[in-house]
Amino acid sequence: MGKAKKQWRRKLWLWGNVGLNLGILCLFKYFNFFVSNLQAILSPFGIVLDSVTVNLILPVGISFYTFQALSYSIDVYRDKIKPTRDIAAFFAFISFFPQLVAGPIERATNLLPQFLNPRRFDYSQAVDGCRQILWGFFKKMVVADNCAKAVNIIFADYQSMGAVNLWLGAILFTFQIYGDFSGYSDIAIGTAKLFNIKLMRNFNAPYFARDIAEFWRRWHISLTTWFRDYIYIPLGGSRVSKIKIIRNTFVIFLVSGLWHGAEWTFVAWGGYHAALFMPLILTGNNRKYTNEIAECRTLPTMREAAYMGATFLLVAVGWVIFRADNMSVAWQYLNRMFTAWGVRDTMLYGKSCFVWIALLLSVEWVERHRQHAFSIAGNGLLRYRVVRWIVYVVLALICLGFCGISGDFIYFQF
């Protein structure tokens, strides 16, 4: 592609590369989904297709490194980067082990030059990386895995649960998936820092968002910006009519849902978030909050707190759709969340999780202006090395205390 002089040849190379990457992704991840749905559509008309399925083991993280490879090809086509002749650097970019299976989804413009240029060990980067790894383990092993125990019980027996437990299940899963996914991102970014490699930030305190648009500027940033740059903006972005903005928004969110998995629950989850954008688009407020939360203030205003709470609950409802086994379960669970207030729960699940959730939110609020929540600036008592080491050891011991219940990372399946 880089050597092609004529535009049609460059486009041919681009579409060939895109087709190859998406073809492999669709074969492994979506073939059976499309075949089964095509059979369901045609069967009422008396058309019966031979049952053709492909039993392939889904490679871990295929959606992540497929999108990373696509971004390289598109950026070369757009002349944002020159095609590299260093095959080792290219494969290092595609398969850099810390972020290979669950992101962040890196861009060649950021990561590839770091492999091409000589690097030296950076002590301060390595120390900061170790802190970020430790904080990632806390989010995964202490917050996410503790929440998972209660979430699994509630979702497995949701039909007998009252509304209180069902709301608890939704809220706990909201923190489970955040602790799980952002915890992995912290571990990956921190590990990369040990090699003096800087990966992009993937989460920025998303549950402090004041509306759904701000949430998506803070959640899974590498995927959100990927869809923005390679799908949303080429479709016209926000510089078109409101009808087309609505169309573009639904396109990227439905594709985002499908990116997560070959299930209608993921597609519905994407559609739900697109629908939440509609009032913001129609009123022109989809970029209302681009400033820092409670900038130069210790606490948010009452209005900010109310907006954050409302946004959090809307996101939590969406996570129910994401977590459900199928659309029927999602509908029944959501229905009971709002109607089963007369059912008396014999016990409430996951109450102890809120101690760790409170600690997580407190640290993230205090450190919300920094690149990661456990950067620990040298202010106050933390300027003393012994105090910092006490914090490190206590957090490490807490993580070790919960190491026996650790489960797989949720996003490994994507």
Is the CB of residue 103 less than 8 Å from the CB of residue 60?
no
Is the CB of residue 216 less than 8 Å from the CB of residue 269?
no
| Residue 352: closest CA among 142, 109, 127, 48 | 142
State both tokens at 246. Answer: 């609505």
- Which amino acid is present at 108? A
Rounded CA gap, 285 and 86, in Å?
45
State both tokens at 317. Answer: 């409802």
Q: What angle do CA 371, 376, 380 make, to 5 degrees?
A: 135
What is the chain's length? Answer: 414
Q: 243-246 long-range contacts, Cβ below 8 Å, gap at least 24?
A: 245/281, 246/278, 246/281
List CB contacts of 300: < 8 A, sequence separation 6 or more.
Answer: 293, 294, 308
| Residue 173: closest CA among 156, 148, 208, 203 | 148
Q: Is the dihedral of CA 337, 343, 349, 350 positive or negative?
A: positive
Helix residue ranges per DSSP H, 30-120: 31-42, 62-77, 87-95, 108-116
Active-site residue, 372 included: no
Rounded CA gap, 231 and 226, in Å?
8
Is the CB of residue 93 less than 8 Å from the CB of residue 71?
no
List CB contacts of 185: < 8 A, sequence separation 6 or more.
Answer: 102, 103, 104, 136, 202, 203
- Which of the residues 220, 260, 273, 372 is marked catalytic? 260
Is the CB of residue 240 less than 8 Å from the CB of residue 248?
yes
DSSP type of residue 231: I
For 347, phi then psi, to 5°, come to: -150, 155
Instruction: Name the region of 155 (left: φ>0; alpha: ψ -120 to 50; beta: rest).
Output: alpha
Is the CB of residue 195 less than 8 Å from the CB of residue 115?
no
CA R_g for the chain: 23
Instruction: Give the catalytic positions in this structure.
Output: 260
